[in-house]
Amino acid sequence: MAVVDLDKPHAMQTINDYQQHIQPVAFELNFKKDTSAVLANHLFINRKGSKIWINSLWASLNAGHDDDTAIDVGNIKDSWDWLIEQGATII
């Protein structure tokens, strides 16, 4: 599984390169800002057969849409629901 930092400028090209040459089962997408073009266009990942994993353990990996927000704050809408809306099929 490829791990891609969406805050890097060539993240989308990195994903395309992996899909063209390796066809990973899944991508772990990490980001500090939730404004990535990859998140807005996540379907291109699924259409090629890959799943999307967004790690919800630590806020630094998902722009604060983490487990603590869901459990400690009780805000599932801005944590797990948000991750699923961004295409996460693995949390």
The pLDDT tens digits for 37-81 are 899 899 999 899 999 999 999 999 999 999 999 999 999 999 999
Question: Is the full-model pTM beyond 0.85?
Answer: yes
Q: What is the pLDDT of residue 68?
A: 97
User: What is the four-CA torsion angle of 21, 49, 46, 37, rounded to 10 degrees?
Assistant: 0
DSSP letters along the chain, please?
-EEEETTSTTHHHHHHHHHHHT--SEEEEEBSSTT-HHHHTTHHHHHTT-EEE---S-GGGBTT-SHHHHHTS---TTTHHHHHHTT-SB-
- Per-residue pLDDT tens digits for 25-36: 999 999 999 999
The number of helices, as runs of H, and strands, as runs of E, in the chain is 5, 3
CB atoms within 10 A of CB 30: 20
